[in-house]
């Protein structure tokens, strides 16, 4: 493959070349070239140069998506230098950050200013634009995904022009681009709503499956943030309830926190998964031990330290968003599937919720939502288990997470999302030549 050594006046660092792989290792791309712009101007110049050379363009975050959403054989925009907090406006309650900024850096900077996001997912290695563009979410009764907390954004479009977007400026583009899959352009910066930092008390507690499912509506209603994990091959779950607290802060002890979050949740779990991959017949027995390994604990800390956890065991994941009312029935069908099949599943099934929002391609668009996520340890055959789980999810009008493994296409998704046509109309206007397309977007959005 011929590789250009210059990017038409991009002003960016010299291009790099080589394969790009995602975090899970299930997606590889071989771009013709890649650049690491450090400013909106350099990013726009790189897009214009790619257009002049007839290359498609995709922006990559940290690769935490399990789909090839960022894969390209054209120009790959890397995020490493497009980082940093650009403005903190305490009076307006907003923070503006460059698109490649890791969520970890955003959270640490907000904490230094005594501020916080209202809600977030359970890891913070992703870039802000990668997380929002694929619909990353946590769990919440009242507060929604990270994308729903965006108040403004800056978008480099297919001709290299820069659009400032908010509810007042280019509102149709703003509405769609908050969760845009990279199909409308390359986001260069994002502005989030933030609030004064608060404390959360986390209560983690093992609970029998039957009790969790019997009390599911109660637990969701009574807690600001509720989630649980069911351990396949067992009747055991681990629950987590996060609620705002007056304090004082009481973080996990250094030793006890290390035991729970590193030794058990990462070190021992990694070993258990590796044994299960080598000897699948051992997995049900290991699962029974695992479901009893984590004990109840309560702690109080600033939000990002409660919402997020270290995740060092690599896996492949599929997650579907279902109508909230379908939660218990769908999970019960998934449990029955595991019990009657030969599947050996070492990873717990994660259950979270979100309120309805108004973003066209949000998995919670227009409906109160429950999320069911299935995982398999990296290197373990997952296709048959995921396919069977997906049949359950789609029977309940499920919407797949855009950044996680699924087989849905535009025909299915157009029915699943009432505002699907609204999004594709904005795409047709902003990118008629499909500068930002790839195989994944052609499948899920059409061409």
Residue 67 has a pLDDT of: 95
First-to-last alpha carbon distance for the chain, in angstroms, is: 27
Degrees, nearest 5: CA angle 24-122-335: 75
Lowest mean pLDDT among 49-53, 120-124, 387-391: 120-124
Provide the pLDDT confidence category of residue 290 given band limits of 50, 70 and 90: confident
Q: Exposed (0-12), middle (13-18) or buried (19+): which is 268, by Cβ within 10 Å? A: middle
pLDDT given for residue 295 in this prediction: 79
Average pLDDT, integer, range 2-14: 39
300 pLDDT higher than 70: yes
User: How many other C-beta atoms are found inside a 10 Å radius of the C-beta of residue 168?
Assistant: 9
Helix-, strand-, coil-residue percentages of the chain, each rounded to 5: 35, 25, 40
- pLDDT over 70 at 375, yes or no: yes
Q: How far apart are CA 370 and CA 51, in angstroms?
A: 41
> What pLDDT is attached to residue 1?
31
Q: What is the mean pLDDT of residues 368-381?
A: 95
d(CA 286, CA 44): 52
Q: How high is the pLDDT of residue 66?
A: 93
Residue 302, pLDDT > 70, answer yes
pTM, 2 dp: 0.92
Calculate mean pLDDT across residues 119-130. Answer: 95
Whole-angstrom CA distances from 409 to 26, 168, 380 are 20, 33, 25
141-199 per-position pLDDT tens digit: 999 899 999 999 999 999 999 999 999 999 999 999 999 999 999 999 999 999 999 99
Beta strands at 57-59 and 297-301: parallel, antiparallel or unpaired: unpaired
Compute the average pLDDT of residues 89-111.
Answer: 97
With a pLDDT cut of 70, the percent of the chain lying above it is 93
pLDDT of the residue at 213: 98
């Amino acid at each position: 493959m011929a590789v250009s050594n210059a990017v038409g006046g991009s002003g960016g660092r010299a291009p790099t070349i080589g394969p790009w792989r995602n975090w899970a290792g299930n997606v590889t791309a071989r771009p013709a070239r890649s650049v690491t712009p450090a400013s909106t101007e350099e990013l726009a110049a790189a897009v214009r140069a790619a257009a002049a050379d007839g290359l498609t363009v995709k922006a990559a975050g940290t690769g935490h998506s399990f789909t090839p959403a960022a894969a390209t054989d054209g120009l790959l925009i890397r995020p490493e230098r497009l980082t940093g907090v650009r403005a903190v406006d305490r009076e307006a309650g907003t923070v503006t950050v460059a698109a490649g900024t890791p969520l970890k850096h955003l959270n640490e900077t907000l904490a230094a200013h005594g501020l916080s996001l209202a809600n977030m997912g359970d890891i913070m290695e992703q870039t802000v634009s990668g997380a929002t563009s694929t619909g990353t979410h946590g769990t919440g009764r009242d507060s929604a995904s990270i994308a729903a907390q965006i108040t403004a954004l800056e978008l480099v479009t297919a001709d290299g022009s820069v659009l400032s977007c908010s509810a007042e400026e280019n509102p149709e583009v703003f509405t769609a681009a908050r969760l845009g899959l990279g199909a409308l352009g390359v986001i260069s910066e994002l502005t989030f709503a933030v609030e004064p930092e608060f404390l959360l008390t986390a209560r983690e507690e093992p609970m029998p499956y039957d009790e969790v499912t019997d009390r599911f509506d109660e637990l969701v209603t009574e807690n600001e943030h509720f989630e649980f994990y069911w351990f396949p091959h067992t009747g055991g779950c681990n629950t987590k309830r996060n609620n705002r607290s007056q304090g004082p802060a009481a973080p996990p002890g250094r030793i006890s926190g290390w035991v729970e979050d590193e030794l058990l949740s990462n070190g021992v779990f990694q070993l258990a998964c590796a044994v299960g991959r080598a000897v699948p017949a051992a997995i049900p027995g290991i699962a029974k031990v695992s479901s009893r390994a984590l004990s109840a604990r309560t702690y109080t800390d600033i939000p990002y330290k409660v919402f997020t956890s270290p995740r060092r065991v690599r896996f492949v994941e599929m997650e579907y968003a279902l109508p909230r009312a379908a939660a218990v029935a769908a999970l019960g069908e998934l449990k029955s599937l595991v019990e009657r099949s030969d599947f050996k599943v070492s990873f717990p099934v994660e259950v979270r919720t979100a309120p309805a929002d108004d973003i066209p391609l949000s998995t919670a668009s227009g409906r109160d939502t429950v999320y069911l996520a299935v995982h398999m340890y990296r290197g373990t055959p997952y296709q048959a288990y995921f396919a069977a789980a997906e049949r359950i999810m789609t029977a309940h009008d499920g919407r797949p997470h855009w950044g996680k493994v699924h087989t849905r296409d535009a025909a299915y998704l157009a029915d699943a999302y009432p505002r699907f046509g609204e999004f594709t109309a904005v795409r047709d206007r902003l990118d008629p030549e499909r500068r930002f397309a790839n195989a994944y977007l052609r499948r899920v959005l059409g061409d």
